Structure 1
Amino acid sequence: MTTDAETVPAPLRWAVCLLRIEAVGLALVAAFLIWSDLTATAADLTSALIVTAFAVGGAILLWVLGGALSARRAGARAPAIVLQLMLFPVGWYMTQGGLGWVGVPLIVLGAAVCGLLVSGPSTRALGAR
């Protein structure tokens, strides 16, 4: 008898792990935004709440996609890749704004997760062609 961890190939397990780490990181950002929304004097409360909701939703989505990929649901791969590709422009503009120490790792992270998700073992495990 094999366990689920044995049937999921290593590249897919790493992709799921990185997606879950991203989800936790974004949840921490969302927690900071919630605290800021509650304590700061905002010039535009609506915009602040929208940004906070976007961060909360992104964290939830990353976590759910990680779970779906670990359950080998092929339909979760494309949305996960799209979210990772969104890290490229974010990382680029952070680098251009003088935050290269954050921007470059974001670009590398997005590329790494995309590579893991489109690798041969992950593709075979998800049943995609």
Structure 2
Amino acid sequence: MSETPAEPAPATLRAAVWLLFAEAVGMVGLTLYLAYELLTADAVDLTSALLLTLFAAFGAVALFLLGRTLGQGRAGARGPAIVLQLMLCAVGYYVIQGGTAWVGVLLIALGLAVCGLMLAPASTRALGVG
């Protein structure tokens, strides 16, 4: 008995998955930077610094796992991935308020782009949603 090969994911879903992986890599970089700062800073609120570093590490793992799960065609990962992208937009807003507008605009654009890719009709069909 031969199994029929699974239909390849559409370009929109593949792009969303790769962008989630890229975000995970960025979060790993942020985690390493925060860990370095935690270990080398003279005066630090140890509890806050440790929690922030752990939060960044958790974010990296979550983005990777959501990307992998979406890549496997599981629709249940789409909602949490969209929530993380909307959180990225909120971070972008506060980065703009903090004075680094170009970084904030890029973060917002990235979050909206990934949301758009996951909500595209081809991605929705491939995930069997709607």
Shorter-chain TM-score range: over 0.9
Residue by residue over 1:17-74, the C-alpha shift from the partner in whole angstroms, topping out at 9 and shown as x without a partner, is 1000000001001001111111112431000000000000000100010000000010
Q: Deviations over 1:73-110 (max 9, x none)?
A: 10000000000000122111111221011100000000
Instruction: Calculate percent identity across the aligned residue pairs.
Output: 57
Partner residue in 1 for 2:102? 101
Residue of structure 2 equivalent to 1:92: 93
Q: What is the TM-score with the length of structure 2 in the denominator?
A: 0.93
Judge which range, 32-41 or 108-117, deviates more: 32-41
* TM-score (norm. length: structure 1): 0.94
* Matched residue, 2:112: 111
In structure 2, the partner of 1:63 is 64
CA contact 2:38–2:44 (8 Å) conserved in 1: no
Matched, 1:83 2:54: no
Structure 2 stretches lacking a partner, 5+ long: none
Match of 1:40 in 2: 41
Structure 1 gaps, min length 5 = none
Backbone CA RMSD of aligned residues: 1.5
Letter in 2 for 1:47: S
CA contact (8 A) 1:42 1:48 kept: no
Aligned residues: 128
Give me the whole-angstrom Cα distance separating, in 1, the residues matched to 2:44 and 2:56.
Answer: 20
> Matches of 2:32 and 2:38 in 1, distance apart?
10
Partner of 2:31: 30
